[in-house]
Amino acid sequence: MDQTLAWSILGISFVLAFIFALLPIAGAFFFRPRKGNLSKEASYECGLHPKSDPRIQFHVQYYLYALAFLIFSIEILYIYPWAVNFKKLGSVGVIEMFVFLSILTVGLAYAWKKGGLEWS
């Protein structure tokens, strides 16, 4: 295949990808509803009338606790395959897991020091 043909096919692919990505955004901009009313902007709670404002503020403590939970639950995804293939990995695998667990331990100590694991 000719070099210029290959580059032109690549350029056409980029242009088509760009158009394909912008087409839904442009469609949503042009075909959106122009006017809102109070009944459409009200929160919907299964047919019941809302009792309070739905935009309440949550304490950042909930988010910190959720992030710590995600970090340490995803840790299992990395430790389980390592434990299954422990004999095949040898000393390099042990050192890599030691580094990984050290980083997580530092993260746990930081979260504990900042009070991210305590409910107050």
Query: What CATH code is carried by the domain that includes residue 109?
Result: 1.20.58
Res. 14 pLDDT band, cuts 50 70 90: very high
Lowest mean pLDDT among 4-8, 39-43, 77-81, 89-93: 39-43
Full DSSP string of 5-62: HHHHHHHHHHHHHHHHHHHHHHHHHHSS-S---HHHHS--BTTBPP-S-S-PPPPHHH
pLDDT digits (tens, 9 = 90+) for 35-47: 777 777 666 667 6
Q: Which structural domain, as residue segments, surrounds residue 34?
A: 3-113
Is 83 inside any structural domain? yes
Sign of the CA dihedral 25, 31, 37, 43?
A: negative
Residue 18 has a pLDDT of 96
Q: Tokens representing 59?
A: 């304490």
Is 120 inside any structural domain? no
Mean pLDDT, residues 50-57 taken together: 72
pTM (2 d.p.): 0.47
Total domain count for the chain? 1
